[in-house]
Amino acid sequence: RLICIQTTELEHRTEPGLEHRTEPGLEHRTEPGLEHRTEPNNLTHLSGFDPHRTDSCHATKPDMLNVHLVPHTHDDVGWLKTVDQYYYGDRNDIQHAGVQYILDSVVDQLLKNPDRRFIYVETAFFYRWWKRQDSSMKQTVQQLVNEGRLEFVNGGWCMSDEATTHYSAVIDQMTMGLRFLNDTFGVCGRPRVAWHIDPFGHAREHASMFAQMGYDGFFFGRLDYQDRYQRMMQKEQELLWRASDSLTPPMADLFTGILPNGYNPPDGFCWDQSCSDPPIRDDPDLEDYNVDDVVKRFLNIASAQSMVYKTNHIIMTMGSDFQYENANLWYKNLDKLIHYVNAQQDLGSRVNVLYSTPSCYLQELHRANLTWALKTDDFFPYADDAHDFWTGYFSSRPALKRYERLSNSNLQTCNQLEVLGGPTSTNGPFGKGDSQTMKKAMAVAQHHDAVSGTEKQHVANDYARRLATGWQHCQVLVSNGLAVLSGSTAQRFYCDYLNISVCPLTESSKKFSVNVYNPLGRPVTWPVRLPVNGTAYAVSDAAGTSVLPLSKDTHNVRRSRGFAVNELVFEVQAPPLGFSTYSVSLLQDGPLAASTQPRTPTAIQNKVPTHGFINYKNRMIRRGYNASDGNNSESIQPSGAYIFRPNSSTPFLISSTAKTEFIQEVRQWFSPWVSQVVRLYAHSRTLELEWTVGPLPIHDDLGKEVITRIDTSIESSEIFYTDSNGREVLQRKKDFRPTWHLKQSEPIAGNYYPINSRAYIKDDVDQLTVVTDRSQGGSSIHNGSLEIMLHRRLLYDDVRGVAEPLNETSAIFPEGLVVRGRLLLSLDRPASAADKHRPLAQEMVLQPLLTFTDGDLHPDFSGLQAALPPAVHLLTLTQWDAQSVLLRLEHQFQSWESDVNSKPVTVNLQTNRQTDKQTNKQTDKPWQKHNLLGVGGPTGGATDQPWRSVRWQVESDTVYINSVTHTHTHTHTHTH
């Protein structure tokens, strides 16, 4: 058998000027599981088409059109059924699909013919299947992998969504999947191709991450119909994506291919049990003999496809959703197809058909040694027809989107305390806890039908349940870890409903302590709001303590959960990678003083000097779009979970007036189902908007899509900016696409983009930045304005497969879901705005965790001797195995956005073993600190990935954008 022996054909093919430039001491920058390139013997090898693998690709014919058939299945990790139901084949009344049977059947059929190939993607399913196999089957599968007959592509726990996921969570789920493949199959199991055939638009940051992980190429199936048509005409469906404007090429360069049929087989060639296409009937004695017809149709399809691609190699995806449950149907017909089409070569045909994989196909494209079109923006928004923009899911299921983001923050805290607390954290005074349950739940939640909000309601409930279960496991770990670090085993309470002012301990106790854990690598100041029933409290070492009456909206939204009448508000500070503890004591019961009673507002301000004044207008959250029901002359497309299609370009006015109260904050009620609180904390330069929306009324038989719109005097010239997966920021322009000419047919939905963590508008003087607490959709429809969609409730299915209207209700809210969230607004000079919004967005993503104990407690702790530099973000600190820890640091500023913080930074980590004062001996305590030394300025070099040997030539480093030429040069390079 073949044991993945390396060939060297494509080694070190480097274009002039793109040679590796490696900083001294950084030659082996390995993050276990992230780059998936390290063998068990710890040798690091070059990626490309030659890593320890005999060329298992079938031979091609250079003088013919080679058609690469790629057998595959697309197995959603939840969509119409839950992930468990999909694996076991349960609830086939909803959809016939059983992943365990697919893998059983495929392995059986691969063994019957060594020419056959298959690719598999979703490690979450394969992991489950693998655990249930005996040693004989595992050995068989290992051989198939070693011989390249079964190839893993993508390799993450799931195929993540690209619009609504945060980059940190994507890295985590990719790490989980890739680590399993590496541990199980070694280098032969390492995916070399990223494969996102189903996500609904494609983010530049995803491509950047894939490139930095060492993938050689990226294939996807969906892009805007106008973009596809123009690329077909220009033969640019295969291109080089330069996915970062801060990383020196080719660090974030990724060859990208757009598949011809989405991810389905050509029409008439689907041989799954779920399909109705006729099989190949090749007995000439039978009346229904159809070989000649099949061959003729296939040759016509192949010829037509070759006309819109650049080389004499084309790819066809032979499979689709949950196919190959009976793999014999597929393979028997594919064997025949290959045989009969290739037999035509004796009659002069110039078409050669072969079993293949994406990496084999990619190898042939590289051998062609051509130049490729260059792309530097992204593939949002995506439309599949003139009035069918997939921009609604940017905001669908806003409660689930927030819960996923909060769960990510909780998981990072859980990971960190597992490291800082040592072995006691997983088995300590509060029992056995673990982070793995939460890691798996979060990994599944990144799926493109999970956090995207495009699943059925019962599946959304299952995702939320998994996250809740994971957090329960983490709570035990966190309690154990904090007990180790604080020296106290006092019971800890978790108040997961603080956003609606529910916390049984603070509502009833006269003396309690608040532990504030900060997962960031720098200190933070954070506003704490606790439900209480007293009117005066003493808080140790806290600034700006006050007690406010609970708003009527909070009373309404919490229903019967909680009984507090007031909120205790104070600001806390927490050290980097550590915690502070605040003691709270009741001083007074009784009614609130007159100074806290409502009054008419005149202004909201504090003593912190600011660049300017935000002209706050009351039209915010007073508008919404009525959703199209599909009953109009232009199109029958309604709004739904995926599609955003308002029935008018002018949003309706929820109310022309707002009832307003001022109680150290501005409280506004625009209608019984829309309210807002405006807050400016004592030491803050940002304005907080807390919005509460729902239940959205549907008595008029119209769905509702509620927005907040912020109007300013900024001359933004129809240009605005949104982040990509919470990381780099891209420029947007109304009714414009950078690489193709747009014919706009939906003036609102066609200008919406995903906002994962921030959006802003600016002119030469001012920049208004809005930081979000979850992924949302938004745009700048009018000059000087930003609008963000907060909530959607729709009455029609949008006919994209989910077969269910997005009409969320629950036992607590049977009349319709109520959602609450926060936006942070800052107004700054453009040159310095990133210095504020970068750390602000990280605080929103990784917010402090509050835990509570009854009684008095005062310990403080920091896991760092010094805070990280402002430009450096602590991305990951997690236990890798019993003897090692995974630490990831990243530069969080783009090369152009800050005069101060966009410069490269050097951080040296040196372990400082603490000394026991009694014995004067050094001890390896679980909380041993990391001493941060040698913070310097520009380093002058750039670190490239030595494991990526594949280089692609671009047609030009000058990008032509609708007749406007932009030549990109970069002074600084950032190693992420």
Dihedral sign (CA 484, 489, 490, 496): positive
Dihedral sign (CA 320, 322, 324, 326): negative
Amino acid identity, residue 734? K
What angle, rounded to 10 degrees, do the helices at 135-146 and 167-185 form? 110
- Residue 666 belongs to what H/E stretch? strand 666-671
DSSP class of residue 635 equals -
Burial 467-494 (b: 16+ CB within 10 A, else e): beebbebbbbbbbbbbbbbbebebebbb
Rounded Cα–Cα distance for residues 717 and 733 (Å): 8
Rounded Cα–Cα distance for residues 823 and 686 (Å): 10
As beta bridge partners, residue 722 has 730, 759
Q: Which residue is listed with tokens 């599968």? A: 141
Backbone angles phi and psi of 405, in degrees to 5: -65, -40
On whether the CB atoms of residues 677 and 833 are closer than 8 A, the answer is no
SS3 844: helix
Rounded Cα–Cα distance for residues 493 and 475 (Å): 9
Q: Which residue is listed with tokens 């004044």? A: 613
Q: Is 852 exposed, middle or buried (0-12, 13-18, 19+ CB in 10 A)?
A: buried
Report which of 633, 629, 530 is spatially closest to residue 582, judged by C-alpha positions. Answer: 530
On whether the CB atoms of residues 816 and 793 are closer than 8 A, the answer is yes
Q: Which residue is listed with tokens 């029933």? A: 533
Rounded Cα–Cα distance for residues 515 and 513 (Å): 7
Close Cβ partners of 297 (under 8 Å, ≥ 6 residues apart) = 268
Close Cβ partners of 300 (under 8 Å, ≥ 6 residues apart) = none
On whether the CB atoms of residues 681 and 606 are closer than 8 A, the answer is yes
SS3 944: coil
Annotated active-site residue 104? The verdict is no
Report which of 414, 400, 390 is spatially closest to residue 447, judged by C-alpha positions. Answer: 400
Amino acid identity, residue 224? D
Helix, strand and coil percent figures for the chain, each rounded to 5: 25, 25, 50
Rounded Cα–Cα distance for residues 546 and 368 (Å): 70
Rounded Cα–Cα distance for residues 966 and 345 (Å): 48
Burial 415-431 (b: 16+ CB within 10 A, else e): bbbbbbbbeebbebebe
Catalytic option among 50, 76, 161, 198: 198
As beta bridge partners, residue 319 has none
Burial 151-190 (b: 16+ CB within 10 A, else e): bbbbbbbbbbbbbbbbbbbbbbbbbbbbbbbbebbbbbbb
On whether the CB atoms of residues 793 and 698 are closer than 8 A, the answer is yes
What angle, rounded to 10 degrees, do the helices at 436-445 and 167-185 form? 110
Q: Is 607 exposed, middle or buried (0-12, 13-18, 19+ CB in 10 A)?
A: exposed
DSSP class of residue 519 equals -
Rounded Cα–Cα distance for residues 916 and 910 (Å): 19
Residues annotated catalytic, as ranges: 198
